[in-house]
Amino acid sequence: MCGRGALIAAFWAAAALALKAYADQPVTESAFFADVPVVLSASRLSQPVADAPAAVTVITQAEIKASGFRDIPDLLRLVPGFSVADSGLNTWAVGYHGFADAFSRRYQVLVDGRSIYNSNFGEVNWNDLPLSIEDIDRIEVVRGPNAAAYGSNAFFAVINIITKSAGQTPGFYSSVQAGTHGMGGVMLRQGGSLGPALYRITVSAQKRQRFNSVGYDNSGKPVYPDETTKTYFTNGRLDWQVNNTDDVMAQFGLTTGNWTFSPTPGLFSPENVYAGFLQLKYHRILSADDEWYVQFYYTRDRFDTALALPPFGLPLYILQSRTNLDAQMSHRLSPTLRAVWGAELRQETDASPAYFSTTDTYSGVLTRGYLNLEWRPAERWVVQGEAMVEHHYFTGTDVSPRVAANYTFAPGQTLRFAVSVADRTPTFHEEDNFYYTKNNGDNVAVVPNRGLKPERLLSREIGYVAQFPGLGLDMDARVFYDTFRNYIAVNTVVPATSSVLGIDQFQNTGTIDIHGAELEAHWRPHNDIDVWVTAARVFAYPDAQVNAADPDVAVSAPRTTGSLLTSYRFGNGWQASVGAYFNGTMKWLSDGDWTKSYTRVDARLARRFRWAGHGVEAAVVAQSLTGSYSEFRREYVFGGRYYGSLSMHW
């Protein structure tokens, strides 16, 4: 069956099931409104989605469970406009409206307010993130630039992963998974109290082979292009309610991994990773609209491989750290005016001998300050103005403003008009990477990149947010027109081979116009049925300068992406779900390939029951039932696979 045909068939199957249940028992209005989300990530103020100054997708625990996904980046398939692929480097390529390569540099990714993109390439090391998918409370994805609230790198989107508090995870919980393609995992969690404080401790061991094998070694063992041989992590959280107004949160996490990766097709190398973080937060709530916090966190990541890259013969490792201190206060200034403001101080360090041709450690200090005002001049209007002022160690001072107005023209129906500006500052790799020039045939000089300007995005959008409780339906649609200036393109001076990792030169180029439309909807025709639908249509038009530097930009955005996830809760603890995910033809940038359009269909069947007084859930998941498809590179083939899981709570 063709990709779109499979998506259409899955849609009608879900619709038929939902309509049958709808005839039996319509959804109650109270149950419907109980699920209308309040979001934190759009403006740093707690707001209903209809009042937010940007489009926000909330991935709930119900969606996470129904999807059957075990890897956090896969969950972004549930967000309009996102493309997801494993890049074959034991990390993930994530694209929003295109512009994605192995290092997805144009997103701000947070875990409980802690920034986790790395300072070398700007990507997120998803596989060494010490976080279990069972510990996630929800994921808020701000679709569109949000630098006014989160600064540089909040360029195309903000992905804010919010974990469960210690109070949400009492008792002992265990989960075991096993399946085809070498999949296996175990996760254990204990929650309890230490005097007046609540805690949780999670430990996990995971193993993956993401892709189909590409052949066999001399002993007949299958060879995989990207193999997560072992990943172990632990994390802990402590929540202490000091008194009626004050609380303290402390978290830590540690990861170690022993993997195999393929930096170039056909070349495989062992890889060791070590990652850790410490986070402390003091929070005071004086009233519903008056609160403040102070937060500190420290992160450290190391990546090692046995490769040594000529001509320098330096080892390929990356060691980076981030030390961050920030504070924020929100306050109601009048009955119609709320404000939130704050400041941040950050130091980032990076060492990578092979990439920088030196054993020196690079370091930079970043400072930020921001202010957001929410004004309600009339009952149906919400007007917001905000700005971030940032001084970056490479680009100096930048200002990122946003203005938005939300008008509720009918009960439950709101129009949003927004204009925002975002900057993306160069990473250490872009600014301090080197390239070769040859003199007299054999002299090699190292010439660093210097003086790159920040990329800048001007975004204009009109959004429509609606709730129809009588139909059990809520929806969010938007049209947008973005102008992307100073695009940083890469010119490969020395191509990657089996012995050289490739030498790149980065340069600012011209302008790209991006426009399109997005839709997401959640339909609950029955109290036991949920249907989530997303769709996006995107067009990118680079100018001649961008085309000359990077001709793949225009085709890096798939014209059409979409998803359909439906969940049906039978009686006696049974639940079934089916997900269909469509991605149009696209070209992954940098060392990625053309990938054909595909529709992936997954299914999950689970049952919850009580055994010896304990809560138990058993589930089986089938992935890619529609057959194999290529991710990122042609030889990276994701085929049909199956796994089972068993979890117990007591």
Which among 291, 201, 285 is positioned nearest to 251, based on CA atoms?
201
Higher pLDDT, 471 or 122: 471
Q: Contacts for 34-42 with beta carbons within 8 Å, 24 or more apart?
A: 35/60, 35/522, 35/524, 36/467, 36/474, 37/138, 39/140, 40/140, 40/160, 40/162, 41/110, 41/140, 41/141, 41/142, 41/146, 41/149, 41/158, 41/160, 42/140, 42/142, 42/146, 42/149
The pLDDT of residue 306 is 65
The pLDDT of residue 25 is 44
Q: Distance (Å, rounded) from C-alpha 428 to C-alpha 122?
A: 8
**324 sits in which H/E element:** strand 314-334
Q: Tell me the mean pLDDT in the region 566-578.
A: 95
Higher pLDDT, 383 or 506: 383
Q: Is the pLDDT of residue 437 over 80?
A: no
Cβ atoms 585, 560 nearer than 8 A: no
Q: Which of 14-23, 59-68, 130-139, 410-419 has the lowest mean pLDDT?
A: 14-23
One-letter amino acid for residue 69 of the chain: F
In the DSSP assignment, the letter for residue 454 is P
- Please count the CA atoms within 13 angstroms of the CA of 223 that sit on its side-chain side: 17
The pLDDT of residue 580 is 97
The pLDDT of residue 526 is 93
In this prediction, residue 500 has a pLDDT band, given cuts at 50, 70 and 90, of very low
Which among 474, 522, 606 is positioned nearest to 60, based on CA atoms?
522
Contacts of residue 153, Cβ cutoff 8 Å, sequence gap at least 6 = 105, 106, 107, 108, 115, 117, 122, 147, 424, 425
In whole numbers, what is the pLDDT of the chain averaged over residues?
87
- Please count the CA atoms within 13 angstroms of the CA of 132 that sit on its side-chain side: 27
* Helices (H) then strands (E): counts for the chain: 7, 41
Q: Is the pLDDT of residue 33 over 80?
A: no
**411 sits in which H/E element:** none
Higher pLDDT, 451 or 342: 342
Contacts of residue 604, Cβ cutoff 8 Å, sequence gap at least 6 = 66, 67, 68, 575, 576, 577, 578, 619, 620, 621, 622
The pLDDT of residue 22 is 42
Task: Pick from 31-40, 115-124, 407-416 the range whose average pLDDT is largest.
Answer: 407-416
- Percent of the chain's residues with pLDDT above 90: 66
**DSSP reduced 3-state for 588:** coil
The pLDDT of residue 313 is 55
Q: Contacts for 603-607 with beta carbons within 8 Å, 24 or more apart?
A: 603/68, 603/576, 603/577, 603/578, 603/579, 604/66, 604/67, 604/68, 604/575, 604/576, 604/577, 604/578, 605/574, 605/575, 605/576, 606/65, 606/574, 606/575, 606/576, 607/572, 607/573, 607/574, 607/575
pTM, entire model? 0.90
H-only helix segments in 237-352: none
Cβ atoms 165, 241 nearer than 8 A: no
Q: Which of 130-144, 210-224, 451-465 has the lowest mean pLDDT?
A: 210-224
Q: Which of 95-109, 312-326, 454-468 has the lowest mean pLDDT?
A: 312-326
Query: Cα–Cα distances in Å, from 596 out to 1, 90, 92, 127, 629?
Result: 15, 22, 18, 25, 8
Q: Distance (Å, rounded) from C-alpha 532 to C-alpha 563?
A: 8
H-only helix segments in 421-575: 428-432, 544-549
List, in order of start, the domains of the chain with CATH numbers: 3-649 (2.40.170.20)
In this prediction, residue 449 has a pLDDT band, given cuts at 50, 70 and 90, of low
The pLDDT of residue 15 is 44
Provide φ and ψ at 547, rounded to 5°: -60, -35
In this prediction, residue 300 has a pLDDT band, given cuts at 50, 70 and 90, of very high
Higher pLDDT, 213 or 631: 631
Q: Is the pLDDT of residue 464 over 80?
A: yes
The pLDDT of residue 493 is 56
According to DSSP, the residues that pair with 115 across neighbouring strands are: 110
Q: Is the pLDDT of residue 65 over 90?
A: yes
The model's pLDDT over 237-254, given as tens digits with 9 standing for 90+, comes to: 999 999 999 999 999 999
Q: Distance (Å, rounded) from C-alpha 350 to C-alpha 364?
A: 9
The model's pLDDT over 13-26, given as tens digits with 9 standing for 90+, comes to: 444 444 444 444 44
One-letter amino acid for residue 496 of the chain: A
The pLDDT of residue 247 is 97
* Residue whose structure tokens are 């199956």: 642
CA torsion angle for 114, 120, 123, 128 (degrees, to 10)?
-70
In this prediction, residue 127 has a pLDDT band, given cuts at 50, 70 and 90, of confident
Q: Distance (Å, rounded) from C-alpha 193 to C-alpha 165?
A: 12
Q: Is the pLDDT of residue 447 over 60?
A: no
In this prediction, residue 187 has a pLDDT band, given cuts at 50, 70 and 90, of very high
The pLDDT of residue 228 is 64
Higher pLDDT, 437 or 175: 175
Q: Is the pLDDT of residue 78 over 60?
A: yes
Contacts of residue 309, Cβ cutoff 8 Å, sequence gap at least 6 = 316, 354, 499, 500, 501
The pLDDT of residue 20 is 46
Which among 22, 14, 59, 7 is positioned nearest to 566, based on CA atoms?
14
Q: Is the pLDDT of residue 363 over 80?
A: yes
Contacts of residue 175, Cβ cutoff 8 Å, sequence gap at least 6 = 134, 185, 186, 187, 645, 646, 647
The pLDDT of residue 217 is 67
DSSP one-letter string for 548-583? HH-TTGGGSS-SEEEEEEEEEE-STTEEEEEEEEEE
The pLDDT of residue 10 is 47
In this prediction, residue 434 has a pLDDT band, given cuts at 50, 70 and 90, of low
Q: Tell me the mean pLDDT in the region 397-402.
A: 96
Cβ atoms 580, 603 nearer than 8 A: no
In this prediction, residue 98 has a pLDDT band, given cuts at 50, 70 and 90, of confident
The pLDDT of residue 439 is 43
Q: Is the pLDDT of residue 550 over 70?
A: yes
Q: Is the pLDDT of residue 192 over 60?
A: yes
Radius of gyration over every alpha carbon of the chain, rounded to an integer in angstroms: 24
Higher pLDDT, 506 or 81: 81
The pLDDT of residue 565 is 98
Q: Distance (Å, rounded) from C-alpha 510 to C-alpha 527?
A: 51
Q: Distance (Å, rounded) from C-alpha 168 to C-alpha 189?
A: 12
Q: How many other CB atoms are there within 10 angstroms of residue 573's CB atom?
A: 15
The pLDDT of residue 210 is 81
In this prediction, residue 600 has a pLDDT band, given cuts at 50, 70 and 90, of very high
The pLDDT of residue 208 is 81
Q: Distance (Å, rounded) from C-alpha 284 to C-alpha 361?
A: 38
- Percent of the chain's residues with pLDDT above 70: 84
Q: Is the pLDDT of residue 268 over 80?
A: no
